[in-house]
Chain A
Amino acid sequence: MRVEYINPFVETAYSILVEVLGGEVKRDNLYLKSTSMPVMGVAALVGLAGDVEGRVLFDMSMETALNIASKMNDEKIDTFDELAKATITELANLITAQAVTKLHELGFKFDLTPPALFTGERMEISDQNVEALIVPMITEQGKIEVNVAIRERM
């Protein structure tokens, strides 16, 4: 996978997380996965289709998701209710919309699907023939992995 696809997602995830969470955000080392991998408990998935195709996954533990939802709503949220789900979905929307704007400026044309939210224990994701690049972002609310699997349309 070409690195220019992932940079906009990493840069945008960083700036949006700093903006909406208001604390320090650190980027951990990027890594590559080409087989199936476990997801942490709450995953927001956005599909891409056009000149390039694939998906972006924002993966975090339930605890992190609740911490983020609490922070973004300025109130303690203990259960992953409709408001918490809408909050994590909106976070995925904000990051993806801004990243895609950058990719459009670089000349890549494609559309996005609305985010789909997956929750559960022991989930696994497999991408056929697409490597996934993962960038862990460490926030005061916990770790979010930005997991990008994109390829040029064949």
Chain B
Amino acid sequence: MKTKQDFPSINERPPDGLKDDGTKVRVLVVDDSIFVAKQIGQILSSEGYEIVATAVDGKEGVDKYKDMFPNVDIVTMDITMPRMDGITALEQIMAFDKNAKVVMISALGKEELVKKALLLGAKNYIVKPLDRKKVLERISSVLK
């Protein structure tokens, strides 16, 4: 029996999470909430992204980014975390790799910190509660 794959539609949009060469965009998720990390993972995986690692605080996030370099394409970074906050982690990642693509994940009311993050090199930000459409738009805009 012929399947849909035998007749690919010329109009079908490729998933956002695939690069031009067909490999998956690799994401490092840094968040102290396993709920938020899981939510980001589910949203991005459904669009073809690959979550290559997660970290529960800024320090672990920086360490994993350095260890895995250059095998992380984009980082989602929570702002408020124990041990090392997301702003400090962003600074350290940008100092290590000035081309790093970091997207901040923020609760409402952290506008000053978001502005600071953007000045420090964050490429975009997403305000919680996370909405699938909003997350995918912000992440894919950074990759373009």
Contacts and interface: CB of A to CB of B under 8 A. Distances in A.
Interface string A49-88: 0000000000000000000000011100000001100110
Interface residues of B, number: 13
Interface stretch (A32-40, A96-104, A118-126, A138-146): A96-104
A90 interface: yes
A21 B106 CA distance: 20
Interface residues of A, number: 20
A93 B107 contact: yes
Contacts, number: 42
A74 B36 CA distance: 13
A104 B109 contact: yes
Interface in B87-120: 107-110
Interface string B13-40: 0000000000000000000011110100
Given A16-B129, A20-B129, A73-B38, A94 B107 contact: yes
Contacts of B80: 114
A147 interface: no
B108 A73 contact: no
Contacts of A94: 107-108, 128-129
A148 B42 CA distance: 34
A30 B63 CA distance: 49
A29 B109 CA distance: 28
Contacts of A93: 33, 107, 128
A19 B129 contact: yes
A94 B56 CA distance: 19
A100 B109 CA distance: 7
A98 B109 contact: yes
A97 B34 contact: no
Nearest to A19: B129
B33 A89 contact: yes
Contacts of A98: 107-109
Nearest to B82: A114
20 contacts: A72-B35, A73-B38, A83-B35, A86-B33, A86-B34, A86-B35, A86-B36, A87-B35, A89-B35, A90-B36, A90-B128, A93-B33, A93-B107, A94-B128, A97-B109, A97-B110, A98-B109, A100-B109, A101-B108, A101-B109
Given A90-B35, A90-B36, A114-B80, 19 more contacts: A20-B129, A72-B35, A74-B42, A82-B34, A83-B35, A83-B38, A86-B33, A86-B34, A86-B36, A89-B35, A90-B33, A93-B33, A93-B107, A94-B128, A97-B108, A97-B109, A98-B107, A98-B109, A100-B109
Interface of B: 33-36, 38, 42, 80, 107-110, 128-129
* Shortest Cβ-Cβ A-B pairs, 10 listed: A101-B109, A97-B107, A86-B35, A87-B35, A86-B34, A98-B108, A90-B35, A97-B109, A86-B33, A97-B108
